[in-house]
Structure 1
Amino acid sequence: MTFTDPAPAQAPEMPPPEEMWAGPAAIAVLGALVPDHGSPWQRWGRALDHDHSEGRCCLALVEGGRAVLFGYDVDGSRTRRAAPAVDLLAGGPGWLPWEWLDKALRDAEIVSFLAWWDGRAWYRAPLPEGADEVLSPDADADDVYESLLEFCLDGGWDDDDEDSQERQDALRSGLDALVAAASERRLGEGVLKGLADALPDPDAADTEGALAEARRLGLTGEEEPPALPAGTGEPAGRRVHLPEGQAGASVGVAARGAAERPRPEPGEPGPALRAFLDWAGGHAPAGVTVSAVGYGDITVRVGGAHLPAPPGGGADPSAALARAWREEEADPRSGAWLYARVDTGRGTVERFYDGLPDRAHPAEMSTRALERLRGEMAARDGEWRPDWAALLAEDFVRDGAPPRLCWNPGIPLSLG
């Protein structure tokens, strides 16, 4: 299979990172001012991170006026379960903080969107059709105010008190002043104390700690916002983290369309094949595909190459017939076929011993099947092992997949 270098695509329109930074950074300062509040944004090293039950968003500035944004949304993310996996760093420029990103993406575990700002525009890796995801840092002051108000009510405020509205107005005013001062990079002690005074217990607020956090985040005008060092190029041997069990599909990318070694024709159908053909003739007028690389040791599908699925309850006579057929034709030196197609109308049989047919989906190769395939390939004589069989010795679940074995345009994809 031929692989081409991916070209980055311009991401959907988003504000420049310096405009994105101020709101979330202000909310992170609020977390330092009122530690018990549970502020949604926090400083994560030199980045800003919003990790919550509905998803995650991380924004990191990079020296040279550049930035990286990544995360996922529980309801809207589609690429996280893609098989084969989508390499969100495909086509990324050399200045990306590659080593930092590798660790950050593994720590985050689930990431379905990633974009980088080169100083002029946002770009992202090519994505499959139907998976054009957008993620933008959200520091909605209304949501934060409602959360802070609930915190104040739990902390001693009486919402029936005649001064309740005045207190709420002061709280809102203090929060708005915090965000405005952060946006203008003039956040100082007076703004922080003004917000602290609106809280049920002003003495419990950590004004000094919040001011120090504001300095670290570049909101006071004394220091620039923190930026990661620029990278020096994509690391050799980079791996793409596979958090949703896409290891089998990665091997499937390499196995799809693999050249078949010349083999002697199987000859006249044996009893097991004849029994399977009899079953197919009565149950599958449109044809049958049989996979030995799916979730079960044999998966039979009627009507074409469908994605394999765990077998449902009850006995499946077609699987037993297909298994017997495969075992009947297996050769101790060259092995058994991995995939077969029966055209019941023509009465023809196609067998694939060394890979998946071009029309098959890479996700036909399940992660669960890799151990079994490792044993089957080891049992073959060396001359009968396809090149991709060497991949079976690697632990993609632990280490991730090489970028070339991830999705690229032209390869079918399951978005889960």
Structure 2
Amino acid sequence: MFLGMPEMLKVLVVSYDLSVLASAKRMLQDNFHVLTADDGETAVSLLADFSKVGAVVCDTKASNMSGPEFLEAAAKVVPDATFVLMVDPTTDVRPQRMDGRSPFWHCVEKPVDARTILALLDGQISGADKPPGHGFSSNSDDENVRDALSKTDPDVQFNMLYQPRICTASGRVCAVEALVRWENPALGAIPPATFIPVAEQSGDIAWITDWTLQTACNAVRDWTDQGCPAIPVSVNISPMGYTDPRFIGLVANAIRVAGIPANRLELEVTAGLSLCGNKKASATAAALRDLGVRVNIDSVVDQGLPDSTLTVENQACLQRGDKFIRRVTGKDPVSTLQAMLKLGAKMGIKTVAAGVETLQHAEFIRKLGFDQMQGFHISRPLAQGDLAHWIQSRASA
């Protein structure tokens, strides 16, 4: 157990739309411990199982109850939480409480941008006075990002960094994660949590996915040519990119052009996206299996999914990270990690702890029994050439 490390506030996001869940997780994960659910009953169970949920963000619809119905049920479990209802801007009438009283939630219009949702939650948590009905207006920053994306040459403005993942027992490098970065001349450094949701809405996500896959696969080829061990590269995939009809073609082309075996590429997807009965996502998983490409499932325990929803033929590992490891301070986070280890053992696939940033973290993860770990304690994200030198120096040590 880690002592003296503040536990991040939990936020529960509920929506029938899996892309909304994944986008919300990306926007909030650096500041909050994010739980997600795609139906009201599962969400209420999560509220009962996890302590100290400080905010609940809900869509107007869930698979078995409306947003207002869920929020009223949630308020009975966590009455002191902040409640946010996401509404469609085309809806003329804002949802009301079933008893006719004034809503206790804050209505916000979709699409929800990262800066405003963070400001709302931070303000509510710190006691700022923001009245119900506060909505999201068109964000000029999003427009600037959208315009910049339409004019961007990724080979000039985009950059890829790589963070190694090691075997917990042996310390050998077993994979690297590709991390895309964007430096725009006018806007400066723009993090993926900001530009990926905009790209999903604008349609630019397809070429970003294409560039990311090809760049990562080319790096694998170059490392092999330089005598590095045959290790796979893991690429994060946007929910909309994953279900795009063109996605499998992009993956196959990247592998073919780079001339690498398919098993040298891993794709990292959110558990709620790939495992919840989404037909498009299921078809994509089957096609990836046929190609020989494996999948990393991120944050599976947080999703509240039963084991029976998991398919394992082409899964590489289960991963837990998103600033989670550094805030393991009490019973709930530790039990979550233990549940993940149990699930990985049951499924026969490896478990990964990301966000390992100190020796204390590493020792804790090693004692728990995770198969692999990744984080600044191992190495910061490195440029392609620097990573090759890092791997070679580690192998010769």
TM-score (structure 1 length as normaliser): 0.23
Between the two structures, name the one with larger relative contact order (CA 8 Å, sep ≥ 6): 1
Greater share of residues in helix: 2
Name the one with the larger strand percent. Answer: 2
**How does the TM-score come out when normalised to structure 2?**
0.24
